[in-house]
Amino acid sequence: MFGIAAADWVALQLTLKLATISTLLLLMLCVPLAWWLAFSPRRLKVMVEALVALPLVLPPTVIGFYLLILLGPRGAVGSFLESIGLNHLAFSFTGLVIGSMVYSLPFVVQPLQNAFQSMGTRPLEAAATLRAGPLDRLITVVLPLTRRGFLTAFVLSFAHTLGEFGVLLMIGGSIPGQTQVASIAIYSHVEAMDYSAAHALSLLLLVMAFAMLMAVYALNRRFRLVGVAG
């Protein structure tokens, strides 16, 4: 279909799976982190904020390199996993998930933190005086008031993972069906001088990314609410 080979569809499928899984895991992890950054008193905060923003400025290969060392058979994490009878994570799908989570961290934390900050604590206090318990407040006040932040975080992280190359190549290599994602498949086609295959896959990625961003901006216009577009 669209002149795309079966192997490339597998790569594309893998990309989507990777983006979905790492984005969902990131969202779960980042809600408490962003909440803490938004509302806790300073001190430690500045350091954590700088750490969270680090992936924005580091070359992806640097992140990928350190992760490869850490997750590989000689790294702290990899060797520990092998010592308890599991496999190390270099060149594995799990390794890719961890890599893209690290790489997309700021894209999830920052929109959420901004959304929480612009909401402030007042709506929560008002809800508490109106008999709403903590979970109730989260569902009926926080989520509706910060849904733009959530949407932005989700889409940025997802789209960012679709386009990721350096980190994934370092950790995952290019094993078809396991770690060869679309961006890496494109690179392989170009290396093999197969420009038409590279072209087809590239165009598809471009269209997907554009459609997703359009959807976000359209949704953001519809939400008449507090929230930050990222």
Binding site for another protein (CB under 8 A): 122-123, 125-133, 136, 140-141, 144-145, 224-226
Nearer to another protein, 53 or 226 (CB): 226
Q: Look at the alpha carbons of 156, 161, 162, 166 in this order and tell me if their dihedral is positive or negative.
A: positive
- By three-state DSSP, how is residue 75 classified? coil
Nearer to another protein, 18 or 38 (CB): 38
Nearer to another protein, 20 or 121 (CB): 121
Integer Cα distance of 112 and 195 in angstroms: 40
Q: How far is the CB of 119 from another protein (least distance, A)?
A: 10
Q: How far is the CB of 116 from another protein (least distance, A)?
A: 15
Is the distance from CB of 147 to CB of 119 less than 8 angstroms? no
Structure tokens at 136: 């109730």
Nearer to another protein, 94 or 118 (CB): 118
177 Rama sector, left if φ>0, alpha if ψ -120 to 50, beta otherwise: left
Nearer to another protein, 17 or 147 (CB): 147
Integer Cα distance of 167 and 184 in angstroms: 11
Q: How far is the CB of 133 from another protein (least distance, A)?
A: 5
Q: Which of 200, 194, 29 is nearest to 100 (CA)?
A: 29
Q: How far is the CB of 145 from another protein (least distance, A)?
A: 6
Q: How far is the CB of 29 from another protein (least distance, A)?
A: 26
Integer Cα distance of 220 and 81 in angstroms: 43
